[in-house]
Amino acid sequence: MGLAKRIVKQSVIVTIILALLSLLVDWRAKAFLFLKPSGNPDFIPISIVIGALIGLVNLHGLIWSLERLLGGQRATGKLVFVSMFRLVILFGLIIILVALKLVNLLGLVAGMTVVFVILVKEGLKMARQQ
């Protein structure tokens, strides 16, 4: 199984578990009042899933860019433009979701962190093997 497929598979599994576990927590309890400024606490489970999806889409874009770059294609203006456009779209999407209060910011960050941690773990594992 390829590295990207392992990362996606593990990210999906961990994200689902984390989102399900977050359903068990009463985020409106007084102990979690510090979460109020980051958005609606009821949206934490779905925010975790959306954050992981954003992380996986970004990972796919990075893989696409690296394949083009390492596959013999020079860093053309088109490749740079597509990479910058992807970044602007992702930031814009996050800003819109947070501004419209459709997600909880901490849940979004937690979901993106899941993908990042698994990416680092798998990268270190692969580096040790080589």
In a domain, 28, yes or no: no
Query: How many domains are contained in the chain?
Result: 1
In a domain, 35, yes or no: no
Range of the domain at 17: 3-21+40-129
In a domain, 27, yes or no: no
User: Rounded CA gap, 43 and 23, in Å?
Assistant: 10
In a domain, 31, yes or no: no
In a domain, 88, yes or no: yes
Q: How confident is the model at residue 66 (pLDDT cuts 50, 70, 90)?
A: confident
Cβ partners under 8 Å of residue 69, min gap 6? 75, 79
User: Any idea what DSSP says for residue 41?
Assistant: G
Lowest-pLDDT choice from 43-47, 61-65, 84-88: 61-65
In a domain, 59, yes or no: yes
At 40, is the secondary structure helix, strand, or coil?
coil
Convert the pLDDT of each residue in 79-108 to its tens digit.
778 888 989 999 999 999 988 989 999 899
